[in-house]
Amino acid sequence: MCVRFGEATDIIGKIKLNEVKLNRESHVGILQGKKGLILGVANNKSIAWGVARAAHREGATLGFNFLGEQMEKRVRPLAESVGAEIIAPMNVSEEDSIDAFFAQVKEQWGELDFIVHSIAYANKDALRDPFSQTSREDFHLALDISAYSFVACAQRAAPLMKAGSSMVTMTYLGAERAVPGYGAMGVAKAALEASTRYLAADLGESQGIRVNSLSAGPIRTLAASAVGDFRKLMEKSSRGSMLKRNVDQEEVGNACVYLLSDLASGVTGELHYVDAGFHIGAGDPGIE
């Protein structure tokens, strides 16, 4: 049988297309069979939602928390879209609320493979006013919600985890540098990063649990709207980064699922940057 060149090309093309479809159908994600919590989704622009989408794509079974009825209206449809098995209230400033949430996780799942902590809050005055004017109340609030909440969740999650399980929290460069408009949140993030190292030492030795933090570049989120001149901050980050651009939720999500997966089995206590290389440079080079 004689096959013309054009026909042969079509046949080869169909074979390759079928191979692609087969690969997609047979794809086993790096989180396949794992159950984990995504804590702190506010809406579809949240960094935590970028992580949730990536984790879902990689086969994870997910659970979510929300704070109050208004937030539930945003979170529940998103969580249901990725087949979440747990969607429950949790206020990290209240011990009883944290206990109730993790009691539900224990009852429904019995065990956990990972948690992603993306919870932070500070009063706007604590961000916009000079840091030297930060009130004791605002200082306590920022550290309690943004840093201690990770410790509190880790305490409840660890008994449900086995060796090789993973915890990841979200931080920002403002923990290391004095970023304008970040104020008390920068101090809270510094405490969060230190907490990551001490949790890694404690839980790694006692249970073989890995704990890491991920420092994302500036991304437009609901929380970012509280930072003054955020547009200028993004412009500076883009100019000063090695890739000459900012990152997005999907890129952060992809990096996070690596840290959650067995591919990062030897990684703990790390601060992993996803900021297009901004942190290794000298900052904003200015406008040409």
Q: Give the mean pLDDT of 129-156.
A: 97
Strand runs labelled E in the chain: 35-39, 61-66, 86-89, 112-117, 161-171, 210-216, 271-274
Mean pLDDT, the chain, integer: 91
Give the other-Cβ count within 10 Å of 228's Cβ.
13
Please classify residue 5 by burial: count the beta carbons closer than 10 Å to its beta carbon, then call 0-12 exposed, 13-18 middle and 19+ buried.
exposed
Fold of 31-277: Rossmann fold (3.40.50)
**pLDDT at residue 122 above 70?**
yes
Instruction: Please say whether the beta carbons of 243 and 205 come within 8 A.
Output: no
Give the other-Cβ count within 10 Å of 147's Cβ.
25
Q: Give the mean pLDDT of 237-252.
A: 95
Share of the chain above pLDDT 70, in %: 88
Q: Looking at residue 5, what is its pLDDT?
A: 52
Q: Looking at residue 222, what is its pLDDT?
A: 61
Give the length of the chain.
Answer: 288
**pLDDT at residue 16 above 90?**
no
| Per-domain boundaries in the chain | 31-277
Ramachandran angles phi, psi of 167, nearest 5°? -125, 135
- Please report, in angstroms and rounded to a whole number, the separation of the first and last CA atoms in the chain: 65
Catalytic site residues? 172, 182
As given in the structure block, the two tokens for residue 6 are 């054009």
Instruction: Please say whether the beta carbons of 173 and 218 come within 8 A.
Output: no
CA–CA gap between residue 31 and residue 278 (Å, rounded): 29
Model-level pTM? 0.89
Tens digits of per-residue pLDDT, 185-217?
999 999 999 999 999 999 999 999 999 999 999
Tens digits of per-residue pLDDT, 23-57?
545 567 999 999 999 999 999 999 999 999 999 99
Question: What is the three-class DSSP state of 197?
Answer: helix
Among the listed residues 82, 71, 115, the one whose alpha carbon sits nearest the alpha carbon of residue 259: 115
Among the listed residues 165, 189, 164, the one whose alpha carbon sits nearest the alpha carbon of residue 176: 189
